[in-house]
A and B are shown apart, each in its own frame.
Chain A
Amino acid sequence: MTPVLLIAANFLREQRWPLIILLLWVAGSSAVVGAPGVAADREDVLFFLKQQAVYGVAVTTFLAASAIYNERRSRRILAVLSKGIERAQYIGGLLVGVFLVAGIYCAFMTAACAWVFSQIRAPLLPLAYLIAALLAACLLSGSVAIFFSTFLHPLGATAATAIFLGVPALLTHVAPIWLRLVPVYWLMNTILEFAFHGFHYTDWTAVALGFLETLLVWLAASWVFTRRDVAVAVE
């Protein structure tokens, strides 16, 4: 377990600047929306929440999609993989790193949203579900991006992730079961359709499926990455 945590902590350290910028953006946005005297209405607050949720998923996907490529291009991956670790542990480390990035972002979002909600006297109860849904969506989209990045350029991996996560949105009109297959759309849709009045959505199935499928995607990514040559030039 320790190598996984070491790689995860290292990933977090390497991605600290994008994360800090994202957190500053959240802090700045929440200050604008929730500052006393701004008199933001509930629509503004909802826009803030939904905008940050989309940014969170997008940023974790980008960071995950470029992780292996950056390590290969800088050749830093060689010193890491020359140690006594399995490829699955390496992928697991990146995934836990994505989880840490998403976790810190979601924790910051929780604090920011709690403050903004309290400014407009909105109920805080839905926040627990919304943040859990956001964390699951970030983690699953990140893991799918890592899976594609084991054999694609980061741009290709990002595009493939977008298509893969978006397909259920189209197919769900044909058969609702597709919604559960890769539930990022389901999770994000819950967040994007959230309204303070009449919120009663407490079905945690999508969140649980998100975490479960992350594990499955990690297994698939590990299987592929174990069979890949990593020392050849990436350009």
Chain B
Amino acid sequence: MLEFDGITKEYRGFFGSRSVRALNDFSLQVEAGEILGFLGPNGAGKTTAIHLAMGFMRPTHGSGRMLGQPFGHAVTRRRVGFLAENVALYHRPASKLLRFYGGLNGLRDPDLARRVRDILDTVELVPEADRNVGKFSRGMLQRVGLAQALVNDPELLVLDEPTSALDPLGRVAVRELLQHARRAGKTIFLSSHLLSEIELVCDRIAILHRGRLARLGRTSDLLETREHSEVVARGVSPEIMHGAVADDGVVKFTIRTADQRAAIERVWNLGGEIVSVAPVRRSLEEIFLELTAEEAGK
């Protein structure tokens, strides 16, 4: 669906000033039908990668393909929806604006009129259809931005920080929209700073750091650590293990996975019962901090 193949992008400085390498031999494949979360600290190169995919820029080295065509192929973009970070739209009534963007993608009446109606309904802006978007709140503007990305019923959605301007209710609405899009078979490439959002909706996560792909994997695999497990036991006291806590009739403690067998036997020997043993889930924040610390140590 979307493929970056060894892409390097350098922003050249003027008059011999130092150039900045935003992406460095970056490769990534987004599979059909998945939601891939694209994470990275500020300046990691996420927006650069997205802009290269959309054909706004050309890579210094490497290449990429979108829906089977090289980046920048105009006709292919008709099957793609894009929402930029800090959405900026013309100040026109919402319905006319969507007609404009739909028209640029080759949609014609009556399909265009139907799509505009449907998409305004999807983003819950039907009552505001004739209002100028210049008078919209940021949240409403973001929804119009999403609507213009969806107006052509795209196969691939490329979203750069789609929930950044939204309140919690708006985020839930966008999350539902993304899940609805996935059920409809769309592929979504989603860049976000809101790690909790990514955890909730993405099938896979790619983490970019200093222009390189630092981690890539299924969300569940990335969040679960193989090194530590959480044991929940019943019928033992919290003194069984350092750091164990009693909670609602059970005792919980974290151990190194290598020590798992010994810990279970100890519970049994003390007459206790194991309720569950599960890998410890880390938050994306922790993974992020880990990564940054690793890179700083290199």
Residue of B58, B80, B100 with highest tally of chain A CB at under 10 A = B100
A82-B77, A84-B74 as given contacts; A3 in contact with B104, CB under 8 Å: yes
Q: Is the CB of A79 within 8 A of B84?
A: yes
CA distance A78 to B149 in the complex (A): 11
B contacts with A, residue count (CB < 8 A): 32
CA distance A3 to B86 in the complex (A): 24
The answer to the question of A202 belonging to the interface, with a C-beta cut-off of 8 Å to chain B, is: no
Q: Is the CB of A14 within 8 A of B74?
A: no
> Nearest chain A CB to B75's CB is how many angstroms away?
6
Collect the chain B residues with CB atoms within 8 Å of residue A227's CB: 58
The answer to the question of B88 belonging to the interface, with a C-beta cut-off of 8 Å to chain A, is: yes
Collect the chain B residues with CB atoms within 8 Å of residue A229's CB: 56-58
Q: Is the CB of A84 within 8 A of B56?
A: no
Near B by CB (< 8 A), chain A positions 190-235 give 227, 229-232
Q: Is the CB of B84 within 8 A of A78?
A: yes
In the complex, per-residue mask of B169-197: 1 if CB is within 8 Å of any chain A CB, else 0: 00000000000000000000000000000
CB < 8 Å: which of A10, A83, A86 contacts B90? Answer: A10
**Beyond A6-B100, A6-B104, A232-B57, 11 extra complex contacts between A and B, CB < 8 Å:** A3-B106, A10-B90, A10-B100, A14-B90, A76-B88, A78-B56, A79-B148, A81-B56, A82-B82, A83-B77, A83-B101
CA distance A233 to B82 in the complex (A): 19
CA distance A89 to B152 in the complex (A): 19
The answer to the question of B105 belonging to the interface, with a C-beta cut-off of 8 Å to chain A, is: yes
CA distance A76 to B58 in the complex (A): 19
Residue of A3, A82, A230, A232 with highest tally of chain B CB at under 10 A = A82
The answer to the question of A80 belonging to the interface, with a C-beta cut-off of 8 Å to chain B, is: yes
Q: Is the CB of A231 within 8 A of B105?
A: no
Q: Is the CB of A231 within 8 A of B57?
A: yes
- Count how many pairs of residues, one from A and one from B, have CB atoms less than 8 Å apart in the complex: 79
Collect the chain B residues with CB atoms within 8 Å of residue A79's CB: 82, 84, 87-89, 101, 145, 148
Collect the chain A residues with CB atoms within 8 Å of residue B86's CB: 75
Q: Is the CB of A232 within 8 A of B11?
A: yes
Near A by CB (< 8 A), chain B positions 60-114 give 74-78, 80, 82, 84, 86-90, 92, 100-101, 103-106, 108
Collect the chain A residues with CB atoms within 8 Å of residue B92's CB: 13
Interface, chain B (partner A; CB < 8 A): 11, 47, 51, 54-58, 74-78, 80, 82, 84, 86-90, 92, 100-101, 103-106, 108, 145, 148, 152
Nearest residue, chain A, Cβ from B56: A231
Collect the chain A residues with CB atoms within 8 Å of residue B58's CB: 227, 229
Collect the chain B residues with CB atoms within 8 Å of residue A231's CB: 47, 51, 56-57
In the complex, per-residue mask of A66-93: 1 if CB is within 8 Å of any chain B CB, else 0: 0000000011101111111110010000
CA distance A81 to B54 in the complex (A): 8
CB < 8 Å: which of B11, B82, B84, B106 contacts A75? Answer: B84
Collect the chain B residues with CB atoms within 8 Å of residue A3's CB: 103-104, 106
CA distance A124 to B98 in the complex (A): 46
> Nearest chain B CB to A225's CB is how many angstroms away?
12
Q: Is the CB of B77 within 8 A of A84?
A: yes
Collect the chain B residues with CB atoms within 8 Å of residue A14's CB: 90
Can you list 6 A-B contacts (CB < 8 A)?
A78-B82, A78-B88, A83-B78, A84-B105, A85-B104, A230-B57
> Nearest chain B CB to A162's CB is how many angstroms away?
23
CA distance A166 to B137 in the complex (A): 48
CB < 8 Å: which of A7, A74, A83, A230 contacts B56? Answer: A230
CA distance A7 to B105 in the complex (A): 12
> Nearest chain A CB to B234's CB is how many angstroms away?
56
Nearest residue, chain A, Cβ from B47: A231
CA distance A227 to B51 in the complex (A): 14
